[in-house]
Structure 1
Amino acid sequence: MKKLNYDSQQILDKEFKTSMRGYNQDEVDEFLDVVIQDYETFHEEISRLSEEVERLKAAKSTSSSSNGQARSQVNYDVLQRLSNLEKAVFGRKYSDQ
Structure 2
Amino acid sequence: MLEYDFAAFRKLVSKFSDIAAFYISYMEQHWIIEKEPDEISFRHDDAMKRYRNFIDKMPDQHRRLKQHHIAAWLGITPESLSRLRRAIAYGGPDSR
TM-score normalised by the chain length of structure 2: 0.30
Structure ID, larger Rg:
1
